[in-house]
Amino acid sequence: MILQALCGFYDRLINDSSKQVALFGFSTENIDFVARLNKKGNLLDFVDLRELKDKKMVRKSIIVPKPPKKRTSGITSYFAWDKTDYVLGCTIDKDGNTIFKLDQFFEFKKQLGEICGDSKDEGIVALMRFAETWQTENAPMLPNWPEIAGKNVVFQLDGELGYIHDRPAAKEAWLTFLANSADDESKDAMCLVSGKFCPIANLHPPIFGVKDAHISGAGIVNFNKSSFTSYNKEQNLNAPVGIQPAFSYATALNHLLRRESKQKIQIADATTVYWTERDSPVESTFGFILDPSDTSGGDAQMAVYLDAIREGKLPPDIDGSMRFFILGLSANGPRLSIRFWYASTVKDISERIGQHFSDLAMIRSFDSDPEYPGMWHLLKETTNRKSSEGPPPLLAGAVVQAILNGTPYPRALLSAVIGRIRADQNLNYMRAAIIKAVLARNNRILGHGTEVPMALDKENKNIAYLLGRLFATLEKAQKDAIPGANATIKDRFYGSASSTPRVVFPQLLRLGQHHIEKAEFGWVRDKQIEEIIGSIREFPAHMSLDQQGLFAIGYYHQRQDFFTKKDNSKEEGAQQ
C-alpha cells in the first residue's frame, strides 16, 4: 500500500510541469561545478554552481542520467557527468595530496564511446574530443584545483545555456543504451506494487533525506544481512518489486524528502512526509499544523484554518474527500523503518487534528504561550530540560498515531509529564494542557473519568481538583505572608500532596493558619480555604495517576485565577 501510494504520487509529479522530477533513467543529484568546453573539446573553465544559503554552500540539484542501480563497488562511470575522479582522472585524498585515477578516467572515456560513439551532435562531439585530448596531469594545474577536486562536475558547451547531458541527442543515446543493457540477470516475477509479471529490481535506488540515516542512502526494502532473507532468495528478490515501480517510488520519496521540501517535518526521530492525491493547499499546511513554530505558513490564513477545525468545521475552499497520506520513517543505519503510515481523507485528518487542539485547549498563563502547540512543544515537556536527550522516540510516534487515529493518548505521556512536574516542581501552561488533553480524551472516548474544565471551575466537586485548588490557595497564603521566600510549600510538598494527601494536608493547613495570621489580607485566603474545604469530606490516603493529573490542573487553574484577580484585590486594597 505504501509503495503503491508513492508510485501514484510519482505519476502525479511527472504530469505536473511545475515540479522537477526525474524520469526513468535519470536522477536528481547534487552538482558542484560545470566544466565549459569549446567546440574543439578544449576545457575553458569551471563555473561554481553552488549557492550560499543560510551560511552554508548548497550544491545545485540537477537532473542527470543515472542508471537505477546504485554504484557500490568497482569502477563504473556515469554518462556525461561524474566526480573529478572519473571526469578528469584526478582527485585529492584527505591530506590534500593529488592522486591520479587513470582507470576511472579510462572508464569515463569508454562509456562515452559506447553510448554515443558515432553521434554527430556538437555538444557530444566536443565532449568526446575533450575526453580524447585531456591529459590527467593537467588537472592539478587548474585554477582553484583544491576546491574542484573530488566534486561532481557536469559539462556545458560554450555559448549554450543547457548542459551537454540535457541535449536531446545525448538523452536519446543514453536511453537507448539503458534499454539495451538491461540486466539479463534480472529475474521475472510478480511485482507486488503493480501486480504485473515483470523484471524484478535486485537493488532499489537509495533514499536520501531521512534524519540519522547513512549518508550514502538508506532503503525501506533492504536485505543487507543473511538473517533477513528467506528461502535462499538474495537481496530484494525477497520482496519482488519491478524495476520501473522501484524507480518510481524511490524518486517520489526522495522528492518528498529533499532539503527544501515543504512536505516533510521531523517528529522526534521520525522523518515524516505527507502528500495528497491531487494538488491541495492542505499539503503544505499540514506541516505547520503539526509544528506551528514553523512560521512559513502565513499566520492569518493558518489561524483561520486552525480555528475552523477546532470547532469541527472545514474551511469551504478545501476539498474534504481527497485522499491524504502520511508516512513516518525512522533510520536504523542503512535501513528505514516505518514509524507510522496513515491513509485517509483531508476531512478526516482535519477533524482529528481539530479534536486534538480542542482537547488541548487550556487557559494560558502568558500571552506568548502558543494557542496551538506543536508536537515539539508537547514532547519537550516530558524531558528534563537540562538533559540533551530528546523525548523517547516511540512516544512521539505514539502521540501522532493517537492524534491521527482519534484514540486516547499514550499513558506514558501522562506519567512522563506528571513525573517531570514532581521532579522539577514546574507546572506551566503546556504541562497543564497536556494533562487536561489526556484526561479529557480518555473521558470522551472511554467514558470514564470526569469532565475536565478549561479554566477555573468553582462548581467542580472532584476531590483531586479541589485538593489542587486548596494547595494553590495555601501556597498563595504563604507567599502573601512571606514574600520572597526561597522555598515555598510547592517545592517541599507538591509531590507528597498530590500523591498522599491524607499525610500532608493536615500539616499544610496548620501552617496555613500561621500564614493567614501574618498576612495583611489573610482573611481573604481564609475564606477561600473555607469554601474549598466545605466540599471535601475527607482527604484520600493516596491518589491515582489520573487524580494526580486533576490535582495539577486544579492547582494550575487556581493559580491562574490569582494572577488575574491580583489587580482587583490591589485596587480593593488601595480603596480600603
Partner 1 sequence: MTYGVKLQVWGEYACFTRPEMKVERASYDVMTPSAARAVLEAIYWKPAIRWAVDRIHVLRPIRFMNIRRNEVANKIPLGNVTKAMKNESSTLALYIEDDRQQRAGLILKDVCYGVEAHFEYVGGDDRNDGKHLDSFNRRARDGQCFTQPYLGCREFSANFKLVDEFLQSPLKGEQDLGWMLHDIDFACDMEARFFRAKMIDGVIEVPPFISKGVSG
Shortest distance (Å) from residue 451 CB to partner 1: 26
Shortest distance (Å) from residue 207 CB to partner 1: 13
Q: How many helices (H) and strands (E) does the chain have?
A: 19, 16
Question: What whole-number distance in Å separates Cα of residue 508 and Cα of residue 11?
Answer: 68
Nearer to partner 1, 329 or 552 (CB): 329
Nearer to partner 1, 36 or 233 (CB): 233
> Which of 64, 60, 63 lies closest to 52, judged by CA?
60
Which stretches of 97-206 are DSSP H helices? 102-116, 122-133, 145-148, 168-180
Nearer to partner 1, 9 or 493 (CB): 9
Shortest distance (Å) from residue 348 CB to partner 1: 12
Q: Which helix (H) or strand (E) holds 430?
A: helix 429-446
Question: How do strand 56-58 and strand 51-53 relate by DSSP bridges?
Answer: antiparallel
- Kindly report the number of other CB atoms within 10 A of residue 311's CB atom: 11
Phi, psi (rounded to 5 degrees) for 168:
-55, -40
Shortest distance (Å) from residue 407 CB to partner 1: 7
Question: What whole-number distance in Å separates Cα of residue 436 and Cα of residue 455?
Answer: 11
Shortest distance (Å) from residue 235 CB to partner 1: 11
Give the position of cell 495528497: 276
Nearer to partner 1, 235 or 500 (CB): 235
Shortest distance (Å) from residue 452 CB to partner 1: 25
> Which of 530, 534, 522 lies closest to 569, judged by CA?
522
> Which of 125, 112, 202 lies closest to 157, judged by CA?
125
Shortest distance (Å) from residue 7 CB to partner 1: 11
DSSP state of 207: B
Nearer to partner 1, 228 or 523 (CB): 228
Shortest distance (Å) from residue 381 CB to partner 1: 21
Nearer to partner 1, 266 or 496 (CB): 266
Nearer to partner 1, 284 or 401 (CB): 401
Q: Is 61 helix (H, G, I), strand (E, B) or coil?
A: strand
Shortest distance (Å) from residue 21 CB to partner 1: 22
Shortest distance (Å) from residue 196 CB to partner 1: 7
Question: What whole-number distance in Å separates Cα of residue 231 and Cα of residue 191?
Answer: 18
Nearer to partner 1, 192 or 322 (CB): 192
Nearer to partner 1, 78 or 223 (CB): 223
Shortest distance (Å) from residue 4 CB to partner 1: 5
Query: Which stretches of the chain bind partner 1, using CB under 8 A?
Result: 1-4, 189-190, 192-193, 195-197, 220-228, 230-231, 233, 238-241, 330, 332, 335-341, 394, 397-398, 401, 405, 407
Contacts of 208 (CB under 8 A, 6+ apart): 217, 218, 254, 257
Question: What whole-number distance in Å separates Cα of residue 267 and Cα of residue 339?
Answer: 10
CA angle 110, 157, 150 (to 5 degrees): 55
Question: What whole-number distance in Å separates Cα of residue 44 and Cα of residue 158?
Answer: 8
Nearer to partner 1, 238 or 500 (CB): 238
DSSP state of 149: T
Whether the CB-CB separation of 236 and 220 falls below 8 Å is answered with: no
> Which of 156, 149, 96, 152 lies closest to 130, judged by CA?
156
Nearer to partner 1, 397 or 501 (CB): 397
